[in-house]
Structure 1
């Protein structure tokens, strides 16, 4: 009894200690209510940093205890200790990064304030224009750089929001683990209390570490927003400065001389680099010749080499291959470096053409300068293609060598030369990237120069004008594509802590979802059509049944594709919550009968008591079922009139299905012949007529029966079986049979009986009979 009391007392003390621990306090930048009715007070940045440091110190102390080898309670595995260590490392890492993010937030706020003050204080340039082309280019490049930074900040913010959404799901799982661990600790036996309490503390630690990670992401995301605001403030100031520059551009001689001097200095540096690469290439060529000679000597030395000789030959062959790869790499670098040398001349030529285009008074010179700039732009595009090809090739070679290095043992003699080759490839990649940046800068400069020139616009060809229009239309289309149709908040609550992620449903997402759904639905419908057509062709089902099943399958396909499309494009159903009210009203008032007939259609298809092609009689109208649709079914009468029946009628009303079990039915034709006819001959003729008809079934065979001795005739009945689904209906068969019987009986001299009537006269006294001699002859008759 005493052990049980101590057990519950220990659980209570530990729970109280965990509740009062600073590590359980509210996360930074996330409001946590102390109770269900009272919201937590907002913390200042200093308080948050102070609390984060307390958390970090606490987690570092726990980490030090683990590092010192403090044994865990009995029953705790090494995997659990390792998991707790990982959670402590995560908590320490996120706490330190959150502290840095809070410090950065303060600096960013100061930067925003300072930029806004500078923007408000700037009233224009000190000297009047026109301003030098150097100032024009510098401000425009800064503007383009800010635009690039803004796009990067937006991408980073989107990435942080996605990571925060992932953390939300992890926090939910961790919270559930804490609940389960608490229940397990409450029910634990006295011998297992320490282990279960250790696991409970580890679960709470994991929850706190994940929550700290979520807080870090929130602060980092907020910093990305502030960086965006600072960049936008810089962009606004630059926009004002560029507007103040005006359209006129000056080309002072001192700036041109400085440009030529800097270009010449760069040319010298590139020439030195090129000479160094060529020297390395010559050394590699000499070394390769020596390696090839060594390999050839080893091959010719012995016809049956030993293992040691084989190893030497393999090393020599590998050395030759290594040098081949190195020579190829050096050749590529020489090509890129030479292209950089030529690029300097192109840049000077482009600046010269720009000056002529903006300052020359000769129309011919301006036209030639415009053509030169356009040619330089085309050349820059060609250089872009070269950079892309070399970048991809170098990246592929680096990946190959990385995989080769991974597969080599640590003591392999090949590792040094593979690492040397990797260093060479990295140098190649640096050269390619530098050249790519220079080409991209020239490309943007020329495009900007052409765009800023009014003379260029006046002399553009129609093709160039249309390309410009296309670019502007593409920009507008992109803005429309990214237009946010609906914004919503995705919230997750853990222990009273709410983590909110803002999401937006863009027009592009909707169009993409509709396009994906349409393409997938069209492909699925085509596959269904092909599949059912094959089944019909193989005789496994009839055409009408195939059409009905295909309709229903397409409906199921559409519903499944709608759900898959929303899930695949990460469009939550909550995004359409604004349609909920209207849909609820519409469903409540307008779809009661619709759903009734829809469910009835499902039951009809499942029971298969009515199928496409069956002959039904409903309310005195007989016809063939042509379709069983989602709401109604169509019965085509024998008069060619379509009868639209709600599906519920097929379940609730009296329906006669002539072809439910089988389409074979028995029909009868009755024949009346006069008394005195040869009965056996009549029977034989009737049997032959039934047998000669091509539609009457042979099995069951027709039967001729003398049915009755009527008052005025002998009645024969011809019973025969026909398939109602054949091309000829039962009524037509009966008509044909009557024609045949009438002709055969006439040929045999047997007459059909006609109806006769007899009269009976009753009299109480004898009737008077008088003989009439007829009418008298007319006067004058002979």
Structure 2
């Protein structure tokens, strides 16, 4: 460890020494090159940077009193400088016809902007002083508060109001902290702009000094430097304005925190032994009744205003030609806006009455369950409160969005007022803006009623949670099951997508969209699964009865069962979609590309299905028939919906698509009869007796038990071969699954070989006779090897 410190310290020392030397060099350069006017600005930016980078809210607080005097001096100096700028240079001299000086014009504009900034700072500094004063008073009050001066006639209501204050102040603290963070991010950019402005001013001073040999160039650079100096003052004033805004927001945050601290102290004291009584309920009902009467009076006034508006609209229509203040289209637009405004006001007042009644019901629930500690008894009220919270929260978000929309409209209208390119009449614009402001007030009133209702619901739910905080194992299980049920309900009703469909509304068919939700899909699959189980059992029942009672072939009954099951599945798919109201247009939702891909994939499947139907109705072969298709010969084992199975002579089962039996030539060896003719060929030597051979072959055929006697066997002398006399034994046999016709042909060959051997008849084989001419000697030649 000591060695590590010995190595580390020289490095740190050299780093510190280098930084100090670099700072001294920079300071000397600034003292030599920077003008006197730039020094105060650099110091000011340094202080502001230091203050903006500090973490504490009041570590480098500004003094509003001293800033007021400083800004007043700057304002007076700027006003004098602005007055000294000749206005003729800005507008041009009409006597001489000389154009305006652009540098002086820009300087005058910058000075005017600087005046506005100083005036704004002077108006904001008193606000900062007031906020500081309030913050100090609230902090002292929060630190020194020990209790209420006098008891309240309604302790529970006071505690309830303090709960509202604590919740509201907590939200304000969070919002102010977020705003302060956002302001600090924007302030960093403002400070960076001020720093860059100082750098440009310093470089301009250097350029003026370097151009001393050229008076004309130096004069032009001096004017440019003076303009940059004014811009620098603007940037510094903006930086100071940012610091004032930041400190004001910090003071507001500290003030709100002090209020929150005081409210929490008061709530802790007020909550002791605060129970809801009948007097509290009576007072609440009385307050709600007073508010309801005020709303009813406002409703009556709104209805009276509506009648007056209708009368004035009629009068304005008759007096339009006389006044010509607004065109008919503009007048119609104004009347429509007035009608909408009145409609919104009436709807808002009615909704406020509804929420006041809801608050009365909530207080009634609080009173009824004020002393209930059994969760089972309070579960109904708890669920009702939870549902109310969800409903009112959603409505509050909607009203907030409507209020934001009206506020955006007012902002757009305000922008139009200062836009010189907008030619809309002031009368119409002012009237529309006034109506929009009325709607803003109405929505704000409704939003306040919703906020009050939601707050009351949350307090009621909080009271029940606190009162029922001791939960048994059953309560935890019930709460867990409730949570699982809510999550399951959300998943169950989740909309996967919507499908275009025709919907019947009030006896009329209109085009609309149907939701495809998780519950519909699961229900459809459940119907399919249960229906398939019933369909499978039904098809097996039909198969058994078809075989036992209708004497149908078992293989045919099995094929019929499969096709019945297939048709039942198609009906089940359609039925399940109809039951859950999923339109068939869902298949169009897959899209063109997916539909094309599925179409190509379904092409072979549909082709085989249709081929299966054709095989079912035409019946070119049945299970057990011996067929030959595509070079494969075997017995048909099964005919399915999509394919069929064939067992060949080697015991190999081959699955062949049904379309193959339609597209290719098929040989059915057992279509109309199972009798087929086979031939056994034999060749004997030329010295054998033909008649005896004929008789022996017929005897062999008659002795074989599987050779049919009708048609009778037949022996044909087919040809004179090169080496033998060729005979063919033609016999008819019946093809059955137990014995192959090849086996019968083999037995016949064994029997023929034995019988011919017993009768000394030789079966011919290939042979060649070589004849030599002995009339003259053989010529013998010796040939030499042929070279390669």
User: TM-score category by the smaller chain?
Assistant: 0.3 to 0.5
TM-score normalized by the length of structure 1: 0.47
TM-score normalized by the length of structure 2: 0.46
**Whose relative contact order is higher, 1 or 2, with alpha carbons under 8 Å and at least 6 apart?**
1
